[in-house]
Structure 1
């Protein structure tokens, strides 16, 4: 009646599983990081003054993203390698001869994958989200120096009627927002009318107070300067602070606050809500991998079908990732409700994995 096998056997299988999963993850991250660095190193070194230190900075910011993205793949491959090895050595046959069911054989792997999912969630919240935000800021300034404050947003564009406003940096929240390095493109239907550049802008009750303004009139070719100018009486501060909210760049709590602010401002939040739910369902995909890769554990190795079973396990796992990305894309455009976009692939492939396991082994 015990769901788990013996303590010794459970530890033995869990240790095999976690070692192979980490080995696969290390190999994938090492290879992909090297290829990614080869592609980006030219852009990083193109900025004057950048060198080896900036390359290592890029690696430190990019590696957490690669680990988070390919951890579920590693769990899948680690599962298949572990179970195929046990099958090849007739250890699965011995377990079944001892009275263990297929679910009992998989139990140590599933419990271990639960721990992996929990660590993955913590890793995503504490390391991946900040590094993603930092790398995004760095890329926007073409790998040049960026402000040290974590709440700085760079290269923000806002549309005001026909006009375009670009802020080099945006600092603060609410009515305390400060814009720096501002460029305003005043446009008509036929093209650019004038160009305004300012050093700093602060929000007031009547608009934005722009200081150290330099104006250029396109039609006359004349240039003028003024100390202060009031602009953008219809532009709200949240248009700058919430103009480029990305779910991957925020922790789950910060994303909740951003969603509330956007809803209060009457902005669409469907894609962000889907991303919020996916922050939970994404790490939990690791729990699903032992079930999808379980087909590699069973069947006689001498029948010559072990390789086919391993390929079938990989096919089920990769089909899940395709369905997950598709559902998330549908959630981002509003075609699926956010909770359905995040959880439907997980529930669907859980039922598929259970069906295959029960029909073939139980």
Structure 2
């Protein structure tokens, strides 16, 4: 049960693992960011006034998403490269000759991956979620300027009977919600009846007060101006703030509050609950990677099967990601309970990895 009989050896292996993981991550992010920027630069520069600064802004918002998405892949590849190198140089044989078990050989990598998982969770909460929300807002306004206020939602649509209401931006929460650049499409079954536009809308407790309003009647072709109009006594503020809640764009605590508000409003929250649990299980997938890639560490390198073992390790790791995405998709549509959707792949592949390790090496 002494998983670290040699402090020097543990530090040596952990350092190798971390360096190779970071190198693989940097290479993946660099290549994928370049390809992604090539695909999106045309849309960014299409907006009048955008230039090089906006391209760098896009990179700063997109890069954290790529880091978060491909960090577990990098841990897997870093594990396989580290263990295959140790095996190729007969260092694993030396460790086993010194009395170390397979679990003792992997222990430094697993502890290092726990640190990676913790850093990944904090990185997702503090940087990835805000950048994802900001990028989604920027894409909705077609890479034009967006207001700097916090907690902003852009291009929000709400249906009120036959009528459609569009707010270019929504800020605030509860009864303090403020709508800007509001357009109301009054419709009948046969088509559009009138168009109402206002600069700003505020909730009064029983309706909405629009300022600087212009109303265009489609039937008569007459446009009327009004400084203030009261509308929408049946429209609640949460219809604007709780529409299109994205688990990826919120931190774990903000998502918890959004789920509570949605449940209070009687909205479905199954997919968001699965996303909430996945915010914890997702970073923890890094802990599995040394276990799934461990098959590359053992067996004699001169037997010619080292490449096959590395391929098996990669196959196990990628099979986990496939199962994880499938379970999360099932959770989003309500086919799996949220807890099962987030944690079942992790537990399943932990058992698979332990089984392979024990049956082959222990």
TM-score (norm 1): 0.98
Q: Is the 2:102–2:361 contact (alpha carbons within 8 Å) kept by the matching residues of 1?
A: yes
Count residues with an aligned counterpart. 362
State the match for 1:69 in structure 2.
69
- Cα separation, 2, equivalents of 1:292 and 1:189: 59
- Cα separation, 1, equivalents of 2:219 and 2:308: 72
SS class of match (1:206): coil
Return 43-52 or 217-226, whichever deviates more. Answer: 217-226
State the match for 1:221 in structure 2.
221
- Cα separation, 1, equivalents of 2:163 and 2:299: 67
**Does 2:361 correspond to 1:361?**
yes
Q: Give the 5 Å matches for 1:111-122.
A: 111-122=111-122
- Cα separation, 1, equivalents of 2:70 and 2:49: 33
SS class of match (1:77): helix
Q: Give the 5 Å matches for 1:329-340.
A: 329-340=329-340
Q: Is the 1:5–1:105 contact (alpha carbons within 8 Å) kept by the matching residues of 2?
A: no
State the match for 1:50 in structure 2.
50
Q: Give the 5 Å matches for 1:118-197.
A: 118-197=118-197
State the 1:258 CA deviation. 1.0
- Cα separation, 2, equivalents of 1:140 and 1:87: 51
- Cα separation, 2, equivalents of 1:301 and 1:221: 83
SS class of match (2:2): coil
State the match for 1:237 in structure 2.
237
State the 1:41 CA deviation. 0.6
TM-score (norm 2): 0.98
State the match for 1:298 in structure 2.
298
Map Cα deviations across residues 296-332 of structure 1 (whole Å, 9 max, x no partner): 1111111111111101100100010011111111111
Structure 1: 5+ residue stretches without partners: none
SS class of match (1:310): helix
State the match for 2:264 in structure 1.
264
State the match for 2:109 in structure 1.
109
- Cα separation, 1, equivalents of 2:353 and 2:202: 57
State the match for 2:23 in structure 1.
23
State the match for 2:86 in structure 1.
86
State the match for 1:288 in structure 2.
288
Q: Is the 1:92–1:298 contact (alpha carbons within 8 Å) kept by the matching residues of 2?
A: yes
- Cα separation, 1, equivalents of 2:149 and 2:225: 31
Q: Is the 1:270–1:338 contact (alpha carbons within 8 Å) kept by the matching residues of 2?
A: yes
- Cα separation, 2, equivalents of 1:206 and 1:113: 54
SS class of match (2:144): coil
Map Cα deviations across residues 111-167 of structure 1 (whole Å, 9 max, x no partner): 000000000011111111111111111111111111111212111111111111000
Return 348-357 or 183-192, whichever deviates more. Answer: 183-192
Q: Is the 2:175–2:205 contact (alpha carbons within 8 Å) kept by the matching residues of 1?
A: no
- Cα separation, 2, equivalents of 1:206 and 1:242: 19
SS class of match (2:293): helix
State the match for 1:95 in structure 2.
95
State the 1:216 CA deviation. 1.6
Return 118-127 or 226-235, whichever deviates more. Answer: 226-235
- Cα separation, 2, equivalents of 1:123 and 1:282: 12
- Cα separation, 2, equivalents of 1:321 and 1:161: 43
SS class of match (2:76): helix
State the 1:97 CA deviation. 1.2
State the 1:221 CA deviation. 2.3
Q: Is the 1:158–1:166 contact (alpha carbons within 8 Å) kept by the matching residues of 2?
A: yes
SS class of match (2:244): coil
Map Cα deviations across residues 29-68 of structure 1 (whole Å, 9 max, x no partner): 0000000111111111111111111111111111111000
Q: Is the 2:199–2:212 contact (alpha carbons within 8 Å) kept by the matching residues of 1?
A: yes
